[in-house]
Structure formats: structure tokens, C-alpha cells
Amino acid sequence: MSFSWLTCSLLLGTLCAGYSLGEAETRECVYYNDNWRTERTNQSGFERCEGEKDKRLHCYASWLNSSGTIKLVKKGCWLDDFNCYDRQECVSMEENPQVFFCCCEENYCNERFTHLPDLIGTRVKIRPPPRVPSLLNVLVYSLLPLCVLSLALVLALWMYRHRKPPYGHVDLSEDPGPTPPSPLVGLKPLQLLEIKARGRFGCVWKAQLMSEYVAVKIFPVQDKQSWQNERDIFMTPGMRHENILRYIAAEKHGTNLETELWLITEFHERGSLTDHLKGNTVTWTELCHLAETMSRGLAYLHEDIPSYKGEGPKPTIAHRDFKSKNVMLRDDLTAVIGDFGLAVRFEPGKPPGDTHGQVGTRRYMAPEVLEGAINFQRDSFLRIDMYAMGLVLWELVSRCSENDGTVGEYMLPFEDEIGQHPSLEDLQDVVVHKKMRPAIKDSWLKHPGLSQMCETIEECWDHDAEARLSAGCVEERISQIARTISSTTSDSPVSIVTSLINEDLPPKESST
């Protein structure tokens, strides 16, 4: 037995040495882009592959097969992917994919590509060209079968327990729900690139889907309810809006305890409003644009819209976890609302579903939520969102560079009063019993626009829920304030104040 394991050890060393000597190194690949006009690239040629030193590089090809007619989509370099290791030919093994994809190692190995379904009994079986026997094969076949079997079992067990593929491929056939209408659904390949955020739900990856960057939110199987609820909210008729995060697909990967639930949406490089405010101040113009687009998105979410353009009616939706971290920013600082894992729909004639009281992020909970005194009606949940909207608007104003005072470091609501990790009891004492709110500084009130914005904020977080403004009213007010107040307030402060007095702001509304 000791001799057998010694022989196995020698084999392992030989295998490693042989692999390091014989590993195909990819430096250049054949390049092609069918969308070269719209993406402004070369149509064809060769591509020099670049990557991290400890990562392997590959070539790939993707194509369509329409009734026997082959249409090439793309060719080029591919990042480190264990599915491509030691493949000398570019061969697609899937039976009938929507987009064929293959990858391989060695320079220009993607010049030719083949479809070889992994099935027995098909009419046409394309066989890859025979491979030239290598020194590695000779060594393997010359050793004892028992040793080879032992090593294979050990390596297979180790790889099963430890491997975590650095990249995944979209497989929409695993989607347990109906497929939403989207031109990107079913396209391959998708590569996970880097983790952008972590939270109680799991993590968010930046990924690449063909030529587009997307966000992949990965839930553990324990959070299936949150994943399913967010998917259902996204698939509600009428949910496509410029200030609502664009949904692409939802998928299930793996089995049993290894199951991962994926939610694929558009990606925004700027990240969340929280991320932006931590590292940047905002001008008066930027503040108005952020606040107006954010309130427009929430107003649309809250709105009950009749059927149009062939879609069913869009019901009223309460977000229930509205906060600056769930507001994404486009490159032009347009706000986009996302994260609907706790959202609830109010459809006529149907129960609203799970409407537990104390849900969401503790810091942004309205007084009635903190004290467990919610009236479980549609308008009550919308007013809870509006309280949180007031806190997010306060975060924006606190980082505005237009006030007379020095802009301080970014702070979360109530961070100055009760710290970064308040308990439920802390918030109940401050928000419910003492009726405190984040401090509004005197310097903010010296700017005509910020002064009006602070008045709007106070009407959003009013202790009396029925006295709070609706999202539509907030959008209209901010739009009117932005039109009235010039960003250069120091030029003619008298005329600005006069125009504010002469032009009435929209009246206060409840969320009806």
C-alpha cells in the first residue's frame, strides 16, 4: 500500500510538471463583432489578450443557428474560466441553446468552432479532430489503473468541496417563473466580474452580459421569499419606468443547500445615493435633479395605473424599505429606485400579501412602525414610505455645497443623535417619545431654495402620518422650487425671495 501511494505521489508530481510545461498559453485570439457599427469597434481581426498574471486566458466564439444558417455574433479573448481549461478546439456541448458559445486555449483556437451536442443517438454526430498523443497521456496510461482511480477519486472529492467557479453562464431554462419580455433574456455568455456590495440578502456582483454590464444580486436559498417577492414585483405590469431599476431576468442555480437565486438587473457604475454622498457634495442643481427624479420614481411606484399598451393595470406598490442605499444613480445623477424584496402590491379585490408591521431598515422606520401601531391599509404603507423619503431628502440637503456653512462629513439620519448602530429601543425613545428628527441647521435656512426644501422635508416626516405629503406632491414641489430658485442665489436674493412669496407652492396632501 505504501508503494502504491508513493507511486501516486510521483504521478501527481509528474502530472503537475507536465501540466506546467504543456499548458497552452493564450496571448492572441481571432476577433469578430457583428455589432461593430453600433459599438464602434473593428469588425474583425485579431485581439491581444490581457489579464492578471495568475489568471489563465482563453479565446471564445458565439454564434446563432437559424434553420441551419450560421450567423457569427462575436469572437475574442475570454477571461479565466475553468470551463475552458485544456480545450484545444472551440466546441459547444449544449444540445439546443439560444446562443451557441464555446471557448478554448491556445492562440487563434477560436478560428474554427463546432457544435457537438453531448447526446447519444442523434442523427448527426460531429467528431472533433483526433488529438495527437502527448507525453502526459503516455505517462498516465503507463501507470497502474488502481493508482489512477485513487487519484481521480481524491481529486474529484476535493474539487467538489472546494471549487467555486469564478464565472457563471446564464441558463434561463432554470428560471422557475415565466420569462419576462426582454431582448436580453437568453443571451450568453454572462461573466461575474467583481463584488460591488454585500448585505443581509447576500451580495451584488458587477457582471458582463455580452456587451452590456449588468448587476447580479445573489440570494442564498434561505432568502428565497425575498428573491421571489422582488422578482414578482419587477414582473408586475407597467413596472418599466425611467426611475425604476430595469429588470432583466431571475434564475435559480445549483441544487439543495448549494442553491443560489440570481436576480439580474441593469448596472450603475456610480452605485447608490449613499455611496455618492459619502464621497461627494452636491450642488443646488444636482440636489434638485436627484430629489425630483427620486420622488418621481416613488410617485410612479405608488400610483395605480389603468391598463395601457396591451399590459394589465399597474397596481399601487409600497416599497417598505425606502432609503438612500436603495436609490441607484445613473451617470447624469438621475435617481433609480431598486430593491423590492419587501415591497407589497395593492391590487383591487386581492389581499396585499405579507404585510407584517416592523419590516425594513430600523433607522428609516416611521414612528407608527416603531411603536407597532400601523393601520394595515394601502395609504398607511404609502405614508410610511414618505417618512423615509423625508430622511433621504435630509441626507441630500446635508451634503449640499450651496449653504453658507461648511459642508460636514456624510452622516446617516439620527447618526449624530444615537450613533451608527441604534437599537429599536433607542429609536423608539428618540423618534416616538421625544418626537425628534435629524437636525436642520440654521445655515441651510439662509438659502431660499434649501429653506423651501427643508419645509418639504418636515412635512414628509410629520409625526401625524395623515399630514404627510404624497410622493406626487413632493415631486411637484421640488420641480417648482427648482424652477423658481436660481443656483446662483447670491446674484439677486431680493428677487428670488419675492418670486417665492408671489408663487404659491402646491398644497399639502395625504397619500391618497
- CA pseudo-torsion sign 111, 117, 118, 120: negative
DSSP assignment of 183-228, as one string? TTTT---EEEEEEEEEETTEEEEEEEETTEEEEEEEEEGGGHHHHH
pLDDT range class, residue 351, cuts 50, 70, 90: low
φ and ψ of 467, to 5 deg: -90, -5
H helix or E strand, kind and range, residue 32: strand 28-33
pLDDT of residue 164: 42
Residue 473 pLDDT greater than 70, yes or no: yes
Angle formed by the axes of helices 448-460 and 493-502, nearest 10°? 40
pLDDT range class, residue 126, cuts 50, 70, 90: very low
pLDDT tens digits for range 272-315: 999 999 999 999 999 999 999 999 999 999 999 887 667 778 99
Q: Are 212 and 74 in contact (CB under 8 A)?
A: no
Q: Name residue 404's amino acid.
A: D
Mean pLDDT of the region 12-25: 48
CA nearest 230: which of 180, 277, 181, 269? 180
Mean pLDDT of the region 472-480: 95
Mean pLDDT check: name the lowest of 48-52, 202-206, 342-346. 48-52
Q: Name residue 396's amino acid.
A: L
The three grid cell numbers given for residue 245, joined into one nine-digit string: 431599476
pLDDT range class, residue 163, cuts 50, 70, 90: very low
The three grid cell numbers given for residue 391, joined into one nine-digit string: 430622511
pLDDT of residue 491: 43
DSSP assignment of 142-158, as one string? HS-HHHHHHHHHHHHHH
Preceding peptide of 493 cis, ω within 30°: no
* pTM (two decimals): 0.63
Reduced to 3 states (helix: H, G, I; strand: E, B; else coil), residue 141 is helix
pLDDT of residue 8: 53
CA-derived radius of gyration, the chain: 29
CA nearest 245: which of 229, 268, 274, 269? 268
* C-alpha to C-alpha distance for 47 and 36, rounded to whole angstroms: 14
* C-alpha to C-alpha distance for 84 and 100, rounded to whole angstroms: 15
Q: Are 302 and 382 in contact (CB under 8 A)?
A: yes
Please give the span between the terminal C-alpha atoms of the chain, in angstroms, as a whole number.
80
Mean pLDDT of the region 133-153: 67
Percent of the chain at pLDDT > 90 equals 44
The three grid cell numbers given for residue 491, joined into one nine-digit string: 446674484
pLDDT of residue 16: 42
Q: Are 313 and 304 in contact (CB under 8 A)?
A: yes
Residue 511 pLDDT greater than 70, yes or no: no
Average pLDDT, the chain: 80
pLDDT tens digits for range 384-404: 999 999 999 999 999 999 877
CA nearest 305: which of 342, 265, 340, 348? 348
Domains and CATH numbers, the chain: 27-115 (2.10.60.10), 271-488 (1.10.510.10)
pLDDT tens digits for range 367-386: 999 988 777 788 999 999 99
Reduced to 3 states (helix: H, G, I; strand: E, B; else coil), residue 37 is helix
pLDDT range class, residue 505, cuts 50, 70, 90: low
Mean pLDDT of the region 330-337: 96
Q: Which of 97-101, 284-288, 444-448 has the highest mean pLDDT?
A: 284-288
Q: Helix, strand, coil proportions of the chain in percent (round to 5)? A: 35, 20, 45
Q: Are 227 and 249 in contact (CB under 8 A)?
A: no
Please return the burial class of 2, using the count of CB atoms within 10 Å of its CB with bins 0-12, 13-18 and 19+.
Answer: exposed
The three grid cell numbers given for residue 79, joined into one nine-digit string: 477571461
Please return the burial class of 332, using the count of CB atoms within 10 Å of its CB with bins 0-12, 13-18 and 19+.
Answer: exposed
H helix or E strand, kind and range, residue 58: strand 58-66
- CA pseudo-torsion sign 31, 54, 259, 205: negative
Residue ranges of alpha helices (H) inside 303-398 are 367-370, 378-398
Mean pLDDT of the region 159-172: 43
**Any idea which residues carry the catalytic annotation?**
321
* C-alpha to C-alpha distance for 438 and 458, rounded to whole angstroms: 10
